[in-house]
Structure formats: structure tokens, C-alpha cells
């Protein structure tokens, strides 16, 4: 099992699909099971999707902005 630090260090490569199959499986297992790390994965994934939409000229819905602000505040409070 990966530590939280190892999984979070690989979050960008994981989301980009740039990990080899074995490390990818271990990172996925960690995020699937770790309540502490899952919010970080969700935040990164949501943020990336918002950036993709912005780059395509779409505006993020207000509820997404509110949710991102909430997740950032929660992440900050947890540190």
C-alpha cells in the first residue's frame, strides 16, 4: 500500500494517465480507500475539468465555483 505522501506526489501523473500499470493500480487503490487523500484527488480532477472548459470557452457554473471554494477551505483547514 502506498503512503499518502507517495500517492499525492503521483496525483498529476495518475490523472494524466502517465503511470505504468502497476503504480497506477496502487495509486488508484490508495485513492479509492483513503478518506484523507480522496478530496485532494477530487479537487485536482474538478479543477482540471474547469480549466479544460475555460480553455474551450465555457464558463463554469456558479455551483462548481462554490464547491471549489469549499474544497479549498476544507483542504486548508486540514493542513
Each residue of 2-12: pLDDT tens digit?
A: 999 999 999 99
- DSSP category for residue 34: -
Contact status, residue 31 vs residue 1, Cβ threshold 8 Å? no
pTM for this prediction: 0.65
Is pLDDT above 80 for 58? no
Q: Return mean pLDDT, the chain.
A: 89
Name the band, by pLDDT with cuts 50, 70 and 90, for residue 79: low
Query: Positive or negative, the Cα torsion across 24, 27, 46, 5?
Result: negative
Q: Residue 71: which H helix or E strand, with range? A: helix 62-78
Number of domains in the chain: 1
Domain that holds residue 28: 4-78
Amino acid at each position: 500500500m502506498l503512503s499518502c505522501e507517495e500517492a499525492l506526489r503521483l496525483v498529476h501523473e495518475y490523472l494524466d494517465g502517465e503511470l505504468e500499470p502497476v503504480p497506477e493500480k496502487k495509486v488508484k487503490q490508495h485513492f479509492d480507500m483513503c478518506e484523507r487523500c480522496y478530496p485532494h484527488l477530487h479537487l485536482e480532477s474538478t479543477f482540471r475539468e474547469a480549466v479544460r472548459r475555460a480553455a474551450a470557452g465555457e464558463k463554469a457554473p456558479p455551483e462548481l465555483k462554490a464547491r471549489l471554494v469549499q474544497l479549498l477551505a476544507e483542504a486548508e483547514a486540514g493542513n
